[in-house]
Amino acid sequence: VQLQASGGGLVQAGGSLRLSCAASGRTFSLGALGWFRQAPGKEREFVAAHRTSTNYNYYANSVKGRFTISRDNVESTLYLQMNSLKPEDTAVYYCAASTSRVILSTIYQSATYDYWGQGTLVTVSS
């Protein structure tokens, strides 16, 4: 599985961005698709995930109500719509995929995911 993330950029606080992650390869066998982010000097953290077995989406509390994860099966693309952006959302955003069936309690953990995109930088100015 290959993942290619794009869509990052510079935006003012309160603005919106949509990130895309194009997937290729064995996409039909994916257990979950997710977005993580890493701010300077901080550890990588969970942002959102889509669990394919249930078609449910999961969000970090810090982004709930502002971010929306979605998947286009035809185009094999994962999206992250980010609204009401805050300066604390500034980070490199990574898309990730798990090729195994995912236990719900582990969907928030980076170790669950086998494949990672290269990251796209989102900068939110105040």
Which tens digits make up the pLDDT trace of 59-112? 999 999 999 999 987 778 999 999 999 999 999 999 999 988 888 899 999 999
Return the structure tokens found at 16: 């919106």
Ramachandran angles phi, psi of 32, nearest 5°: -160, 150
Return the structure tokens found at 7: 């869509």
Is pLDDT larger for residue 75 or for residue 55? 55
